[in-house]
């Protein structure tokens, strides 16, 4: 782990690959969006519980978490649940490339919240890098703008998902200053799982009756996208600013788009390719700025 702490960019790359598989796995689920999301977080809590409760140090940390921090983690979990529900539903109405690209506008909301609420500062070069990555995301999102109102509805849901996950990221920045990654993510995921179970019940769905596809997809999402995705990005908040972590996630529509092209025949058009290139350029530019800082 010491090697990773000296080279945290390796973890950023692993996290990008993990979250890029999310949209692909969701496409294979036959369960409603809220149910698929609930499966994902329930599996995550199940897999993390032996690690957390089997360590005396982790147990002590959980029991001694102050109320303010615990409340912050709970709120973070609620926003993460909203993110999963709206984004999973978005994937049923628009393409993988467009949905993931719009979700990645999270970086704009994070940067804004970081400056307004956490009194952070963004240099002109950093703001330009964010603008470049946003422009690339918009190019990809606009590539299918003329394909009907269904796609527009999916785009709106993806935008709501972006705002929700930005709130989750900013709260993580505050909570992680006094907590370990494991304790923080465990509390957040438990709260997120409970929220999703409640949302499932409110929508009139059951957690059973959808075959094994939903359960298996939930497990895959838990391992690859949550533990090797979101958890890693939470860990990276210790070494990078929230704006940079969110900017790194902008590689997701490029990687996910490649997967979707191979598996679902969603061949990207010229605009999507140009947008993907712009995104990668913006992230690399931002990476250089952050490294110097």
On whether residue 196 sits in a domain, the answer given is: yes
pLDDT digits (tens, 9 = 90+) for 165-206: 889 888 887 777 778 878 888 899 999 999 999 999 998 888
- Structural domain count, the chain: 1
- What is the reported pLDDT for 147? 62
Contact present, 254 and 119 (Cβ < 8 Å)? no
- Residue 206's domain comprises 22-123+145-239
Asked if residue 207 has pLDDT above 90, the reply is: no
On whether residue 41 sits in a domain, the answer given is: yes
- What is the reported pLDDT for 3? 63
Q: Can you read off the two tokens belonging to residue 18?
A: 């993990």
On whether residue 230 sits in a domain, the answer given is: yes
- What is the reported pLDDT for 183? 85
On whether residue 136 sits in a domain, the answer given is: no
d(CA 253, CA 257): 6
Q: At what angle do helices 149-175 and 96-103 cross, to 10 degrees?
A: 40
Asked if residue 272 has pLDDT above 80, the reply is: no
On whether residue 272 sits in a domain, the answer given is: no
Q: Can you read off the two tokens belonging to residue 73?
A: 């983690």
On whether residue 83 sits in a domain, the answer given is: yes
> Confidence class of residue 263 from pLDDT cuts 50, 70 and 90?
confident
On whether residue 191 sits in a domain, the answer given is: yes
pLDDT digits (tens, 9 = 90+) for 104-126: 777 778 877 777 777 777 778 87
> Confidence class of residue 5 from pLDDT cuts 50, 70 and 90?
low
* Residues ≥6 apart with Cβ < 8 Å to 254: 276, 279, 280
Q: At what angle do helices 252-264 and 96-103 cross, to 10 degrees?
A: 170
Mean pLDDT across the stretch 15-40? 88
pLDDT digits (tens, 9 = 90+) for 64-88: 888 888 888 999 999 999 999 999 9
E strand or H helix that includes residue 184: helix 181-202
On whether residue 160 sits in a domain, the answer given is: yes
Q: Which residue, among 136, 112, 85, 99, has the nearest Cα to 20 in the 3D structure?
A: 99
- What is the reported pLDDT for 10? 81
């Amino acid at each position: 782990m010491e090697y990773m702490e000296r080279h945290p960019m390796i973890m950023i790359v692993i996290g990008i690959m993990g979250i890029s598989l999310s949209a692909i796995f969701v496409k294979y689920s036959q369960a409603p969006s809220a149910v698929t999301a609930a499966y994902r977080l329930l599996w995550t809590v199940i897999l993390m519980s032996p690690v957390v409760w089997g360590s005396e140090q982790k147990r002590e940390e959980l029991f001694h978490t102050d109320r303010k921090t615990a409340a912050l983690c709970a709120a973070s979990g609620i926003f993460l649940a909203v993110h999963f529900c709206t984004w999973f539903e978005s994937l049923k109405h628009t393409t993988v490339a467009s949905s993931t690209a719009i979700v990645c506008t999270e970086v704009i909301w994070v940067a804004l919240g970081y400056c307004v609420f956490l009194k952070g500062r963004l240099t002109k070069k950093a703001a330009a890098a964010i603008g470049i990555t946003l422009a690339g995301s918009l190019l990809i999102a606009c590539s299918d703008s003329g394909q009907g109102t269904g796609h527009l509805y999916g785009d709106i849901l993806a935008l709501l998902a972006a705002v929700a996950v930005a709130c989750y990221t900013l709260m993580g920045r505050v909570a992680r200053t006094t907590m370990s990654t494991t304790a923080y993510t465990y509390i957040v995921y438990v709260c997120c799982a409970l929220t999703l179970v409640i949302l499932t019940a409110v929508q009139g769905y059951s957690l059973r009756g959808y075959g094994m596809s939903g359960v298996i997809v939930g497990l895959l999402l838990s391992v690859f996208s949550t533990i090797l995705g979101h958890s890693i990005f939470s860990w990276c908040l210790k070494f990078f600013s929230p704006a940079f972590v969110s900017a790194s996630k902008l590689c997701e529509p490029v990687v996910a788009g490649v997967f979707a092209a191979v598996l679902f025949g969603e061949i990207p058009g010229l605009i999507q390719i140009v947008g993907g290139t712009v995104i990668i350029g913006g992230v690399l530019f931002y990476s250089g700025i952050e490294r110097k800082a």
